[in-house]
Amino acid sequence: MSFEEAFQAARGFHARGELDKAIDSYARALERAPLNAQAWYFKALAEQQSGRLDSALDSARRGIAAGGDLAAFLLFEGDLLHDRGELDAAEERFARAAAARPRWVPALMALGRVRLDRARFDDAHAAFAAAVEADPAHARAWNNLGVALERLARLDEAAEAFAKSVALDPGYALANLNLQLDQKLEMRIAISTGVALTGDIGSPRRREFTVLGDVVNTASRIEDEIAKPGEIVISGSTYERVKGQVRVRRLESRTLRGRTAASDFYAVEG
């Protein structure tokens, strides 16, 4: 069997997910052409996919020795080392790949990821920033830049990066999730004071603790109609009990839904 026949057979096995057969066929092809860097690359890839990381690392190194694309093989070797938890060695390979092929986004992305794993957030940010500079339309680079900015507590910039990623690829689930998680959580709180009925209410099969009464409805409507996100608003009845103890800002008097007279409201400021 010639090199070409063995190599094409290996590619067929590989495409069908028959990794053991693919690896054996790549090995047979390489017996006939031991300096074929492409065959070493695909053999290493099949070995990685089958969990044979040591063998994959050896094949990747043989591919480099055979004169394969230095940047691509260094990136692949770095990925294998990263998978093995050898972060120092992985970063060294990624840095060499980035130097061998300047402005190559895959190498810059890999360099940023390993630096994130090493908690070197400034360096990770620099790598991802270089990636988006090299390819401003790369949605995943923008997302990863946002992650680095978030780790650096630069939250507004992180939100902008996540938003850019989503704008470039609306279906990119991770960027959408990061954008949602990055949004500030702001609550509206309303307090009203008065008499209420409290206790367990319900049937023997389902009971729950609840609070009933006009004061409860008043607090609910203040929260819904008066308070803004991030505000604590109290009713006039509550203000009469706490005035002098808290700093407040008087709000415009308004008539709540279901009421006939206007009421006073106060936003707590300290």
144 near 113, Cβ under 8 Å? Answer: yes
Q: What confidence tier does 184 reach under pLDDT thresholds 50, 70, 90? A: low
Q: How far apart are CA 186 and CA 163, in angstroms?
A: 20
* Number of Cβ atoms within 10 Å of the Cβ of 42: 21
**In whole angstroms, how far apart are CA 136 and each of 121, 148, 155, 182, 269?**
21, 17, 20, 22, 43
In a domain, residue 250? The reply is: yes
Q: How far apart are CA 16 and CA 19, in angstroms?
A: 8
In a domain, residue 233? The reply is: yes
The predicted pLDDT at position 164 comes to: 92
In a domain, residue 157? The reply is: no
Residues 6+ apart with CB under 8 A from 74: 64, 93, 94, 96, 97, 100, 107
DSSP label of 187 = -
**Joined tokens for residue 260:** 């006939």
The predicted pLDDT at position 34 comes to: 92
Q: What confidence tier does 172 reach under pLDDT thresholds 50, 70, 90? A: confident
**Joined tokens for residue 149:** 């900015």
pLDDT tens digits along 82-139: 888 899 999 999 999 999 999 999 999 999 999 999 999 999 999 999 999 999 999 9
Q: How far apart are CA 166 and CA 160, in angstroms?
A: 10
145 near 164, Cβ under 8 Å? Answer: no
Report the number of distinct structural domains present in the chain: 1
**Joined tokens for residue 55:** 């063998």
Nearest to 46 by CA among 13, 90, 93: 13
What do you get for the CA distance between the two ends of the chain, in Å? 84
Our measurement of the distance from residue 216's CA atom to the centroid of its chain's CA atoms, rounded to an integer in Å, reads: 40
Between 96 and 177, the more confident residue is 96
In a domain, residue 155? The reply is: no
Between 216 and 168, the more confident residue is 168
182 has a pLDDT exceeding 70:
no
Full residue range of the structural domain in which residue 254 is found:
189-268
CATH number, domain of 211, equals 3.30.70.1230
**Predicted TM-score (pTM) of this structure:** 0.60
In a domain, residue 201? The reply is: yes
In a domain, residue 207? The reply is: yes
In a domain, residue 214? The reply is: yes
Classify residue 228 by burial, with Cβ atoms within 10 Å: 0-12, 13-18, 19+. Answer: exposed
pLDDT tens digits along 186-222: 678 888 888 887 777 766 667 777 777 788 888 888 8
Nearest to 27 by CA among 44, 15, 49: 44
In a domain, residue 247? The reply is: yes
For strands 232-235 and 189-191, give the pairing.
parallel
For strands 265-268 and 232-235, give the pairing.
antiparallel
